[in-house]
């Protein structure tokens, strides 16, 4: 039983601002410690549930957040960037389950620190369905036959998870009270909830389902300014629909995901 963990930071209990999630800012060291402890809770739960291998992909910002000397020694950690697969780098069909820890809901939602990859993106649709990082990554996992079995974050992401992945276990560690505010469980209580949900997710592995991407998936990204959409439309195969919106269609979802990453990376230079 091999478990892959995509570990983000914004959905960690007690994390409420970019001053905590940006390396070098004054509360970052606290936030990375809280993140690492929640990841450890997921690792511990996975092993309690029967996992034999756990690989953690550091999925936040520059992907150098998890201090290796604080991580459960049974796990392997993939860190650093750029990585071709970004938040889902290293996920293959060798894995049985994916966990998404410290996640946040999609751009435009009331989730604490909501965004989709970065702040250039207002909205993402795959074949008409609005998705955030969770949806984009769950579709990717399904192309390898891997279901998402555990998600952790705030109450807004919980609703997003229930709509998208109703079979998945969820550990709610905080309630969003604003873009930069949340009512958080204690670090200890959050870790206990994650440990228990992770253990149950592995025990219930046969009930977990994949989220297959739609056939011939069509990606639409609405950016926050026209310069971003214009730069994103340099991506081969992309088509600009209006001042803010760019579309890309392909029969292979992995190509769609790569186009998404390409366009967002291009757009990032146009603030």
| Binding status of residue 185 toward Zn ion by CB under 5 A | no
Task: List the x/- string, 6-25, binding to Zn ion by CB under 5 A.
Answer: --xxx---------------
Angstrom distance (rounded) from CA 16 to CA 18: 7
Minimal distance in Å, beta carbon 8 to Zn ion? 4
Cβ closer to Zn ion: 123 or 233? 123
Cβ closer to Zn ion: 98 or 238? 98
Minimal distance in Å, beta carbon 59 to Zn ion? 7
Cβ closer to Zn ion: 131 or 238? 131
Q: Which residue is nearest to Zn ion (CB)?
A: 60
Minimal distance in Å, beta carbon 68 to Zn ion? 19
Residue corresponding to tokens 């999925």 = 59
Number of residues that bind Zn ion (CB under 5 A): 4
Task: List the x/- string, 42-81, binding to Zn ion by CB under 5 A.
Answer: ------------------x---------------------
Angstrom distance (rounded) from CA 207 to CA 108: 31
Is residue 60 annotated as a catalytic residue, yes or no? no
Minimal distance in Å, beta carbon 5 to Zn ion? 14
Cβ closer to Zn ion: 8 or 96? 8
Cβ closer to Zn ion: 59 or 228? 59
Q: Which of 60, 104, 115, 250 is catalytic?
A: 115
Minimal distance in Å, beta carbon 253 to Zn ion? 22
**Binding footprint of Zn ion on the chain (CB under 5 A):** 8-10, 60
- Active-site residues: which are they? 115
């Amino acid at each position: 039983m091999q478990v892959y963990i995509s570990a983000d930071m914004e959905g960690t209990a007690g994390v409420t601002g970019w001053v905590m999630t940006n390396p070098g800012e004054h509360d970052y060291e606290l936030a990375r410690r809280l993140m690492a402890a929640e990841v450890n809770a997921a690792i511990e739960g996975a092993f309690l549930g029967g996992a034999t291998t756990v690989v953690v992909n550091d999925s936040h910002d520059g992907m150098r957040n998890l201090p290796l000397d604080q991580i459960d020694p049974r796990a392997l950690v993939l860190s650093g960037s750029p990585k071709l697969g970004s938040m889902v780098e290293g996920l293959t069909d060798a894995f049985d389950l994916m966990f998404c820890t410290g996640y946040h809901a999609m751009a435009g939602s009331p989730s604490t620190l909501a965004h989709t990859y970065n702040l250039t993106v207002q909205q993402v649709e795959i074949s008409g369905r609005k998705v955030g990082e969770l949806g984009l990554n769950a579709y990717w996992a399904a192309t390898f036959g891997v279901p998402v079995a555990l998600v952790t974050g705030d109450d807004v992401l919980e609703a997003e998870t229930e709509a998208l992945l109703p079979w998945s276990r969820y550990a709610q560690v905080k309630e969003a009270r604003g873009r930069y505010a949340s009512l958080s469980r204690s670090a200890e209580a959050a870790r206990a909830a994650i440990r228990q949900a992770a253990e149950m997710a592995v025990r219930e592995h046969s009930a977990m389902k994949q989220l297959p991407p739609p056939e011939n998936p069509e990606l639409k990204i609405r950016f926050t300014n026209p310069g971003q959409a214009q730069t994103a439309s340099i991506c081969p195969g992309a088509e600009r629909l209006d001042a803010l919106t760019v579309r890309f269609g392909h029969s292979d979802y992995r190509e769609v995901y790569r186009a998404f990453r390409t366009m967002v990376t291009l757009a990032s230079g146009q603030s």
